[in-house]
Amino acid sequence: MKLSATREAFLEPLQAVIGVVERRQTMPILANVLIIAQDDGVSVTATDLEVEMVAGADIVVGQSGEVTLPGRKLLDICRALKDKAKVELTVSGEKATVRSGRSRFTLATLPAGEFPVIEDINAQEQIVLTQASMHKLLEKTHFSMAHQDVRYYLNGLLLEIGKGHLRAVATDGHRLALCDVDAEGTATAGRQVIVPRKGVLELQRLVGNEGDLNLAIGNNHIRAEVGDIRFTTKLIDGRFPDYQRVIPKLGENNITADREDLRQALYRAAILSNEKYRGIRMELSGGGLRIQAHNPEQEEAEEEIEVGYDGEAMEIGFNVNYLLDALDALDGETASFQVNDPSSSCLMWDDETPGCRYVVMPMRL
């Protein structure tokens, strides 16, 4: 096999797929990337057996073939070369040689036949939406996914197909984020799939703000194609909880506040909150909100801001980080809340972020 191109032509596909390569691997070949060179082009593939990323490369093929090479080492070599430098990759036997100017690097290879590749995912359903919509969907919800929870189905993002829209839901059991965007396709309304955490983060890194995104859903995989990059991930085999049950119905105790004023007040109060539990107390009374925080060192913080509220006086506790994450995800100047009573969840939304809602469970302080 023999390939030649500029440093940038090698660098671009490697950077696109390298996030999938784990630093510590149980199988040595998973630390490698698969390079396939054919007459019609070159592809670079990385996988961790859960997520697979394939990127096309604008590289001249002198001699076709396929090989696996250490992914991070090859990337570091290309990064270290000069801009626009000409790079030549040749493979002979079990060694690969990278040449550029007076630099020469010899890398060990592993057989391409041993590299695990996801072939056909037997896609039954297709969805088309803009990349900007997918980016919004992931950006507005991903932070509420659980991390290493024993309830494995929470360590991912639920995608639910509706008529003309796609919904994402994430929850860690203490908070929930939900977002809807427009989408078209041949998918069955009501179909639910759970995308694992790593797949969500890689897809979020992949999508941009221009062009369309094609999603193909099979029984065990979901695949997205963006330009020259093909992303495939296994789905989590589990049943997502009935999230509709935890979303409070709209009632009378509505609160409106300047989003940035509230965010700043919560951020300042959080400085002296308990580092482990991050609890703050919110006292609501006609037209005002008092935020209090304290910690085991007997330190205290207190903030007061004006809010739109004409209900009964109420005192309720929350994890301040959960409130801040939701406020950061909203786009409007005014944030709206609903808290029915001190033991019920807080529902958050704003008029400038259509389709997005956030639920935060209360804390006992």
**pLDDT tens, position by position, 203-231:** 999 999 899 999 999 999 999 999 899 99
Number of domains in the chain: 3
Domain boundary among 183, 214, 245: 245
Residue 177 CB contacts under 8 Å (≥ 6 apart), including other chains: 140, 141, 143, 144, 168, 169, 170, 171, 326, 329, 356, 357, 358
Q: Let me know whether 134 and 73 are in one domain.
A: no
Domain boundary among 223, 245, 267: 245
For residue 365, the model assigns a pLDDT of 73
Domain boundary among 91, 114, 137: 114
Three-state SS at 64: coil
CA atoms of 109 and 89, how far apart (whole Å): 12
Residue 365 inside a domain? The answer is no
Note down the domain range covering 49: 2-114
CA atoms of 300 and 296, how far apart (whole Å): 10
Q: For the residues 338-355, what does the mean pLDDT come to?
A: 92
Residue 154 inside a domain? The answer is yes
Q: List pLDDT tens digits, range 30-60.
A: 999 999 999 989 999 999 999 999 999 999 9
Q: Let me know whether 109 and 131 are in one domain.
A: no
Residue 155 inside a domain? The answer is yes
- Block residue for tokens 């409007």: 332
Q: List pLDDT tens digits, range 64-85.
A: 999 999 999 999 999 999 999 9
Lowest mean pLDDT among 153-157, 161-165, 192-196: 161-165
Q: For the residues 131-146, what does the mean pLDDT come to?
A: 96
Predicted confidence band at 249 (pLDDT cuts at 50, 70, 90)?
Answer: confident
pLDDT top residue among 125 and 91: 91
Q: Provide the CATH number for the domain around residue 280.
A: 3.10.150.10
Three-state SS at 164: coil
Q: Let me know whether 140 and 208 are in one domain.
A: yes
Q: Let me know whether 137 and 85 are in one domain.
A: no
Q: Which of 62, 44, 64, 63 is nearest to 54 (CA)?
A: 44
Q: Let me know whether 188 and 208 are in one domain.
A: yes
Classify burial at 250, counting beta carbons within 10 Å of its beta carbon; exposed 0-12, middle 13-18, buried 19 or more.
Answer: exposed
H-helix segments, 35-184: 71-80, 131-139
pLDDT top residue among 146 and 163: 146
Q: Let me know whether 218 and 278 are in one domain.
A: no
